[in-house]
């Protein structure tokens, strides 16, 4: 697809009475795009379906809605491992959107949306600057350099017309020109260190400073401090918060291979986190959370590795901040630690406070019983089937299969894996890939008739064993 055709698709008004369409709140194709973008910077970064995400975002922009958040996702796809043409295209797409829809676009149209829109704009420009630092400028020929200069001019004019700052655009333009003049890669620009957890949703548009890391492997304590520094640095990278939460918990727990010594009643000599501090955290959670509270709780769980209740508290804060992905990282890492060392469920701090309170224990058990997707419950799997069909209809077969592949990759129990594979076969059969679908059905039938319950759903057996041990 050439630049002009792509620009026309992204910029043309939505059909109907409203050129910007409606704001999408519950849309399978949008959920797919956002799900893919949530993987960026996480341990699942290598699984991002960049092509399918871009195609889906472009289709939504063309036919459903002019939304700044969706535009951010589309530009991120265009700038991923960008060629000269795609980098230039990203500048044009942004310029067209600013010129035509800036004051009326979702999610914050009109005068009351001025500040939110400026925030999105700043994030986009910062991410573009980071791309400009990395792109191979030796790939640009004379014509491509000229076209890129036109794109920057177009964007600057559009931004000026909408009273948006142009210094960021000029900075990107100047950086590209300097790099082209010298034709050697530059080191990323540095900013002052930012807090480990930033406000503003999923995006974290910070050009991270180079870490001053000395790898000290002389002791477990030294390794822990090094890993915590790495986690702090990763949290400052764009999209790095989820990975930093995982890294921090690995640093805290990697060296713990056995439970602390305890009396017969389960009481250890470890001091608990101050009850006053816990009460303060819970009170703030009730009044309303912010990132400052989250930083405090995360610091507390770092210095108190057996305060499992603190991880449940951090999980609830992440949810209230509106990021289920970060919450799920906390949940999965905490459950993995407790599975590795289940005796902590029965231990107490000095004075009798439990490592794992009743609410936290229920949270852990709920997660184990849920497994992956809702196991075997017809309604949930039927919803997934409908979602896959909608994705295939609107985004193409590859988008639907990518979603199903993500589900299969995250499934732990054989039963969940079975259902994901069956949904894949259903989609293939619906779209006339009957030979492939029939082969998959035969394999699934053989598996279903030869697998025992213990092998079919080991997490259910494990949960029953855990319950009977604690009763």
pLDDT at 415: 81
- Which 3-state string (H, E, C) describes 397-457? HHHHHHHHHHHHHHCCCHHHHHHHHHHHHHHHHHCCCHHHHHHHHHHHHHHHHHCCHHHHC
The candidate with the shortest Cα–Cα distance to 76, out of 63, 90, 92, 66, is 90
- CA dihedral over 290, 296, 302, 305, signed as positive or negative: negative
pLDDT at 467 (0 to 100): 61
Which residue from 384, 417, 391 is spatially nearest to 49, judged by alpha carbons? 391
CA–CA gap between residue 406 and residue 438 (Å, rounded): 22
Q: pLDDT tens digits for 229-271?
A: 888 888 877 778 888 999 999 999 988 888 899 999 999 999 9
Question: What confidence score (pLDDT) does residue 214 get?
Answer: 61
Sign of CA dihedral 438, 55, 30, 412: positive
What local confidence, expressed as pLDDT, does residue 400 receive? 81
pLDDT tens track for 208-233 = 344 455 666 667 777 888 888 888 88
- Say how many Å lie between the first and final Cα of the chain, rounded: 64
Q: How many helices (H) and strands (E) does the chain have?
A: 21, 0
The verdict on pTM exceeding 0.75 is no
Question: So what's the pLDDT on residue 113?
Answer: 87
Q: How many residues does the chain have?
A: 471
Residues of the chain with pLDDT under 50: 184-211, 369-379, 470-471
Per-residue confidence (pLDDT) for residue 213, from 0 to 100: 57
């Amino acid at each position: 697809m050439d630049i002009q055709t792509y620009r026309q698709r992204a910029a043309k008004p939505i059909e109907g009475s409203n050129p910007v369409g409606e704001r999408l709140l519950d849309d399978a194709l949008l959920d797919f795009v956002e799900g893919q973008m949530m993987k960026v910077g996480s341990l699942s970064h290598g699984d991002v379906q960049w092509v399918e995400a871009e195609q889906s975002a472009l289709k939504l922009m063309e036919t459903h809605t002019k939304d700044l958040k969706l535009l951010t996702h589309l530009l991120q796809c265009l700038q991923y491992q960008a060629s000269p043409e795609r980098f230039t295209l990203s500048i044009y797409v942004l310029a067209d959107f600013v010129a035509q829809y800036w004051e009326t676009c979702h999610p914050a149209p009109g005068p009351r949306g001025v500040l939110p829109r400026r925030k999105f704009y700043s994030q986009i420009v910062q991410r573009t600057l980071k791309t400009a630092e990395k792109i191979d400028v030796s790939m640009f020929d004379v014509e491509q350099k000229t076209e890129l200069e036109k794109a920057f001019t177009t964007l600057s004019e559009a931004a000026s017309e909408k009273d948006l700052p142009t210094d960021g655009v000029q900075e990107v333009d100047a950086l590209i020109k300097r790099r082209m003049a010298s034709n050697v890669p530059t080191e990323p620009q540095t900013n002052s260190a930012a807090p480990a957890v930033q406000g503003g949703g999923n995006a974290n548009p910070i050009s991270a400073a180079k870490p001053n890391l000395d790898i000290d492997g002389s002791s477990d304590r030294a390794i822990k401090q090094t890993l915590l520094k790495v986690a702090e640095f990763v949290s400052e990278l764009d999209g790095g918060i989820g990975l930093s939460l995982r890294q921090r918990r690995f640093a805290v727990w990697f060296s713990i291979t056995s439970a602390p010594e305890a009396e017969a009643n389960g009481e250890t000599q470890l001091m608990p986190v101050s009850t006053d501090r816990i009460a303060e955290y819970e009170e703030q959670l009730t009044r309303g959370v912010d990132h400052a509270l989250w930083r405090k709780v995360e610091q507390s769980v770092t210095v108190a590795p057996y305060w499992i209740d603190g991880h449940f508290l951090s999980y609830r804060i992440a949810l209230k901040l509106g990021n289920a992905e970060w919450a799920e990282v906390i949940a999965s890492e905490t459950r993995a630690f407790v599975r590795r060392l289940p005796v902590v469920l029965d231990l107490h701090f000095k004075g009798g406070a439990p490592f794992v309170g009743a609410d936290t224990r229920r949270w852990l058990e709920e997660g184990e019983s849920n497994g992956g997707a809702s196991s075997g419950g017809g309604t949930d799997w039927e919803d997934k089937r409908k979602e896959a069909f909608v994705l295939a209809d609107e985004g193409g077969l590859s988008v639907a299969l990518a979603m199903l592949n993500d589900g299969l990759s995250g499934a732990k129990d054989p039963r969940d894996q079975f259902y994901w594979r069956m949904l894949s076969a259903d989609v293939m059969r619906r779209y006339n890939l009957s030979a492939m679908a029939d082969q998959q059905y035969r394999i699934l039938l053989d598996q279903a008739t030869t697998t025992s319950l213990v092998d079919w759903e080991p997490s259910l057996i494990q949960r029953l064993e855990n319950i009977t041990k604690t009763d």
